[in-house]
Chains A and B, each alone.
Chain A
């Protein structure tokens, strides 16, 4: 049973470019959340997707957008990249009706903006 998988594992982009990161949730999960983890910091919540809609959003600008597909997989898009967007981006999945259950995290995509 595959856990949460993310691609690519590493990515280097130039300031001003756009990037798309991908996530496949753990089997049986229907909800995907995205987190940004800057170097030496704890993860910060970006947004959550369920039933192909954004359900919760953290304090991130509109340059950060996402999508969820009918198979529950998800994409995170970041436009007009800034140097400060360099971070590890973590995807986490869960089952919406799971009470008191933990999130399952992927290994992340390391984004470097030069």
Chain B
């Protein structure tokens, strides 16, 4: 079945460091791919998305490119801030209807220190 695999955390960085969180997926067809972020005590917020191969999603300095050939959707940011400390989830959705079930990875905790 469909699945998402994320790199194990926690990831600990100093402010202004470069961030990469790896995400690979297994799915038939052409799923949509997402990154969600969860701050302590809160629900999930959409960070960025890509709906077809070679699409690049971007938001708040974060970027991820949908790579069909490597089945990957790695999250990157050039210069992290303390406020980026959170748990990041990679997810896929088959089909383009908003309510279709999302399949999530286990999450990667990012801790940024000043």
Chain B's interface size range is 20 to 34
A45 and B96 CA atoms in complex are apart in Å by: 17
- Which residues from B are CB-within-8-Å of A43? 44, 89, 102, 104
Which A-chain residue is minimally distant from B100 (CB atoms)? A56
B105 touches A96 (CB 8 A): no
> How far is B44's CA from A41's CA once the two chains are assembled, in angstroms?
13
User: Which of A42, A90, A102 is in CB contact (< 8 Å) with B46?
Assistant: A102
Q: How many A-B contacts at CB < 8 Å in the complex?
A: 71
CB contact under 8 A between A101 and B98, given known A42-B106, A90-B44: yes
* Set B36, B44, B106: member contacting A40, Cβ < 8 A: B106
A45, B51: Cβ atoms closer than 8 Å: no
Complex CA gap A105/B98 in Å reads 12
Task: Count A-side interface residues using an 8 Å CB cutoff.
Answer: 30
Do A107 and B107 have beta carbons less than 8 Å apart?
A: no
- Interface bits A72-114 vs B (CB < 8 Å: 1, else 0): 0000000000000000001010111011111101111000000
Chain A: CB-nearest residue to B107: A42
The chain A residue sitting closest to B106, CB to CB, is A42
